[in-house]
């Protein structure tokens, strides 16, 4: 049930929730929506050929006939306990295909997910939300083990306010995913922030990211000694554009000691 990931800053993804609702400009060309559309096609083809569609069938519940999110979420009870069975420690991106703090995910279900994360100290869980106000509201009702990292997405200066709510959560490690970076953020708030990821948009209709926007954030991180991770330039072909910035790859990570048995090669901050 583990899904190995090609996302540069994690090892695996875990999706106890699927489906989402777009809430800000960064969601416009949602990669998860495109992936969900492909998984729906796989599920339909499997059913047509008399095969079990597996978990791909879950996406038929959350994608409309145009291949877009239908603004519903599906709670996959069968996926909740999966990390308990993964013996080797790893970095796990929680809900790459949804948002654990979506308005329609009940607190009790979120507590089930947190219970599993608390029971798996061998892993480091990277929870990322565009709804940090919900995470902050629920924070006191959740148990924040040191291996649970909490992040929020910020695509432009207009949404830098999300950092204030991120700070209100009980996570020991708080991080920012500045992806897709859609404009300059000269005053990105970094107080109590432990890690910053920056990346350009990829895939069809990818929007431009200017190099100076990236350098501005990198230099701000360097000045404040916040680990900086440059994920990609993006574009239609992200492999072609690569991920070097000013002649080097930026793979800094927060608090390498917390990665435990995970692959230490990516913890080179």
Question: Residue range 150-172: average pLDDT?
Answer: 98
Confidence of residue 2 (pLDDT cuts 50, 70, 90): low
pTM of the full predicted structure?
0.93
DSSP state of 77: G
The per-residue pLDDT for 255 is: 75
The per-residue pLDDT for 266 is: 40
The per-residue pLDDT for 3 is: 74
The per-residue pLDDT for 4 is: 86
Domain 3-17+75-266 is in which class?
Answer: alpha beta
Mean pLDDT (the chain, rounded)? 94
64-115 residue pLDDT tens: 999 999 999 999 999 999 999 999 999 999 999 999 999 999 999 999 999 9
DSSP secondary structure letters along 171-222: -SEEEEEE-S--S--TT---TT--EEEEE--BSTTPPP--HHHHHHHHHHHH
The per-residue pLDDT for 263 is: 44
Cα pseudo-dihedral 138, 141, 145, 148, rounded to 10: -20
Name the residue ranges covered by the structural domains of the chain: 3-17+75-266
25-56 residue pLDDT tens: 999 999 999 999 999 999 999 999 999 999 99
């Amino acid at each position: 049930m583990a899904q190995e990931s090609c996302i540069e800053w994690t090892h695996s993804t875990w999706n106890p929730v699927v489906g989402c609702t777009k809430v800000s400009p960064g969601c416009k060309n949602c990669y998860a929506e495109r992936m969900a559309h492909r998984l729906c096609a796989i599920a339909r083809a499997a059913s047509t050929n008399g095969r079990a569609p597996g978990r791909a069938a879950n996406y038929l519940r959350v994608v409309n006939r145009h291949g877009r999110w239908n603004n519903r979420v599906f709670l996959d009870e069968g996926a909740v306990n999966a990390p308990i069975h993964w013996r080797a420690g790893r970095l796990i991106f929680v809900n790459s295909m949804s948002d654990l703090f979506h308005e329609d995910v009940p607190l009790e279900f979120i507590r089930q997910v947190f219970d599993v994360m608390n029971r798996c100290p061998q892993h480091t869980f990277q929870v990322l939300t565009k709804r940090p106000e919900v995470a902050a509201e629920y924070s006191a009702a959740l148990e924040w083990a040191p291996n649970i990292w909490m992040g929020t997405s910020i695509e432009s200066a207009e949404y830098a306010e999300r950092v204030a709510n991120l700070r209100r959560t009980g996570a020991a490690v708080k991080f920012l995913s500045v992806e897709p970076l859609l404009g300059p953020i000269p005053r990105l708030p970094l107080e109590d922030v432990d890690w910053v990821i920056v990346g350009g948009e990829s895939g069809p209709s990818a929007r431009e990211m200017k190099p100076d926007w990236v350098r501005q954030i990198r230099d701000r991180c360097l000045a404040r000694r916040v680990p900086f991770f440059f994920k990609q330039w993006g574009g239609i072909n992200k492999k072609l554009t690569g991920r070097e910035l000013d002649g080097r790859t930026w793979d800094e990570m927060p608090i390498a000691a917390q990665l435990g048995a995970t692959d230490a090669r990516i913890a080179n901050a």
